[in-house]
C-alpha cells in the first residue's frame, strides 16, 4: 500500500511540475528521492490547508482520468449549468473522447446568454482531432472577428483545415499568423514544413533559424518540453543547407 501511495504522489508531483513549469531540479528530486522529494515538493510548491481536498482529487484524476469525467457527469446531472457542461466537455477532450466532447460543446453553444468564444474554440479543436475539416472551417468563420482569435492556435487549426481542403493560399495566410517570436514552437515548425512543401524555402529557413536561435534562450524546463521540436528544427536546417 505504501509503495502505491508513493507512486501516486510521484505521478501527481511530476504532473504538477510539468503543468506549472517549476524549476528543473525538482525533476531529479522527485524521480530519484521519491518519498522525500514528493513531501518537500508538496510542502513548498503545492500544499495549502484550503487546497488539501483539491490535491487529493487531482491525484485521483491523474491516476484515473475517467474518474474526473464520471464526477463531472454527476455534477451536470445535479445541475445542468453552462459551466458544468463546458467542464465535462473539456474533460472528454482531455481523454481524447472527441465525439462526446463535441456533443457537449454543441449543446453548450445553444445557450445564447453565454459568450460562445471559448466553447467554439474548444469545439474547433475537437473537430480537428476527428479530421472533420469542413466543420473546423465552419465554426472558425463564426469567431474570426473575435480579438482573441488573431494569432491563436485556433486560427492555426483553421489554416491547417484550409490546407486539407486544398485552399492553399488562404491556408498560408492564416498559418503565417502563428509566427510569433518566443512562442508556438511546434506550430512554427509545422508552418516551416508547409512553406517547404509549397517551395518557399527561404521563408521556411528564416522561421527555422528564428526558432533555433530562440531555443538557446529557453529555460531548462522548456528545452526539455520542446526537445523533440528543437531537434527536428536542427535536422531540417541541415537538410536545407
pLDDT in tens, 173-194: 999 999 999 999 999 999 999 9
Q: What is the pLDDT of residues 141-183, one digit of tens each?
A: 999 999 999 999 999 999 999 999 999 999 999 999 999 999 9
Task: With a cut of 60, say whether residue 2 has pLDDT above it.
Answer: no
Number of H-type helices and E-type strands within the chain: 15, 0
Question: pLDDT at position 144, please?
Answer: 94
Q: Tell me what percent of the residues of the chain surpass a pLDDT of 90.
A: 62
Q: Once rounded to an integer, what is the mean pLDDT over residues 39-68?
A: 60
What is the longest distance spanned by two Cα atoms in the chain?
Answer: 61
12-45 residues labelled b (16+ CB within 10 A) or e (exposed): bbbebbeeeebeeebbebbeeebeebbeebeeee
Q: What is the pLDDT of residue 84?
A: 94
Rounded Cα distance, 17 and 9, in Å: 12
For range 189-210, the mean pLDDT: 96
Q: What is the pLDDT, as a whole number, of residue 191?
A: 97
The backbone torsions φ and ψ at residue 167, rounded to the nearest 5 degrees and listed phi first, read: -95, 75
| CA separation for the pair 237, 233 (Å, rounded) | 6
Q: How far apart are CA 22 and CA 41, in angstroms?
A: 10
d(CA 176, CA 159): 9
What Rg value do the Cα atoms of the chain yield, rounded?
21
8 A C-beta contact, residue 32 and residue 10: no
Residue ranges per structural domain of the chain: 179-241
For residue 187, give the 3-state DSSP assignment.
helix
Angle at 174 between CA 172 and CA 175, to 5 degrees: 65
From the list 135, 106, 137, the residue with the least C-alpha distance to 119 is 106
Residue 90's pLDDT band (cuts 50, 70, 90): very high
Q: Taking the complete model, does pTM exceed 0.85, yes or no?
A: no
| CA separation for the pair 119, 108 (Å, rounded) | 7
Distance from C-alpha of 226 to C-alpha of 218, rounded to nearest angstrom:
9
Confidence of residue 52 (pLDDT cuts 50, 70, 90): very low
Comparing 99 with 23, the larger pLDDT belongs to 99
Q: Is 219 exposed, middle or buried (0-12, 13-18, 19+ CB in 10 A)?
A: exposed
| pLDDT (tens digit per residue) in 216-235 | 988 887 888 899 999 999 99
DSSP-assigned letter for residue 46: I
As a whole number, the mean pLDDT across the chain is 86
Residue 27 in this model has a pLDDT that exceeds 50: yes
Amino acid at each position: 500500500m505504501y509503495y502505491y501511495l508513493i507512486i501516486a504522489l510521484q505521478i501527481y508531483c511530476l504532473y504538477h511540475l510539468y503543468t506549472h513549469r517549476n524549476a528543473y531540479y525538482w525533476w531529479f528530486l522527485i524521480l530519484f528521492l521519491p518519498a522525500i522529494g514528493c513531501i518537500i515538493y508538496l510542502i513548498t510548491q503545492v500544499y495549502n490547508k484550503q487546497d488539501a481536498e483539491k490535491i487529493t482529487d487531482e491525484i485521483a484524476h491523474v491516476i484515473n482520468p475517467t474518474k474526473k469525467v464520471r464526477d463531472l457527469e454527476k455534477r451536470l446531472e445535479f445541475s445542468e449549468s453552462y459551466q458544468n457542461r463546458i467542464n465535462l466537455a473539456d474533460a472528454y477532450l482531455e481523454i481524447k473522447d472527441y465525439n462526446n466532447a463535441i456533443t457537449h460543446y454543441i449543446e453548450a453553444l445553444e445557450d445564447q446568454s453565454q459568450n460562445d468564444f471559448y466553447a467554439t474554440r474548444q469545439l474547433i479543436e475537437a473537430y480537428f482531432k476527428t479530421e472533420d475539416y469542413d466543420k473546423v472551417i465552419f465554426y472558425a468563420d463564426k469567431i474570426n472577428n473575435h480579438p482573441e482569435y488573431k494569432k491563436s492556435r485556433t486560427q492555426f487549426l483553421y489554416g491547417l483545415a484550409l490546407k486539407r481542403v486544398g485552399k492553399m493560399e488562404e491556408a498560408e495566410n492564416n498559418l503565417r499568423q502563428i509566427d510569433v517570436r518566443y512562442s508556438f514552437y511546434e506550430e512554427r515548425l509545422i508552418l516551416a514544413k508547409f512553406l517547404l512543401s509549397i517551395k518557399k524555402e527561404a521563408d521556411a529557413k528564416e522561421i527555422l533559424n528564428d526558432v533555433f536561435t530562440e531555443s538557446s534562450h529557453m529555460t531548462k524546463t522548456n528545452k526539455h518540453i520542446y526537445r523533440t521540436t528543437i531537434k527536428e528544427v536542427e535536422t531540417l536546417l541541415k537538410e536545407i543547407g
